Amino acid sequence: MEKKEENNRPRLTIVGIMCIVIGLVIGFEIKRVHIGLLIGLALGLLSGNLLKKRS
């Protein structure tokens, strides 16, 4: 089981970074970067929790 968790770590990191970048892009599109950053952080936390619970 520990090996499975080690394999998911890089995936969780990549997903978290991608969600933050998507949030920043949304922030640039709506001309409010700080709101986009908050959206990105929220997406990263939600997707990280979903992936963590799935394994």
pLDDT for the residue numbered 20: 74
Copy the structure tokens of residue 39.
């959206």
> Is the alpha carbon torsion for 28, 30, 34, 37 positive or negative?
negative
- Using pLDDT thresholds of 50, 70 and 90, give the confidence band for residue 4: low
pLDDT band at residue 26 using 50, 70 and 90 as cut-offs? confident
Taking the C-alpha atoms of residue 6 and residue 34, their distance in angstroms, rounded to an integer, is: 32
Q: What is the pLDDT of residue 8?
A: 64
Q: Enter the pTM of the model.
A: 0.58
Torsions phi, psi of 23, nearest 5? -60, -40
Using alpha carbons, list the distances in angstroms from residue 23 to 5, 10, 15, 35: 26, 20, 12, 8
> How does DSSP classify residue 55?
-
The pLDDT score that the predictor gives to residue 39 is 80
Instruction: Write down the pLDDT at residue 5.
Output: 56
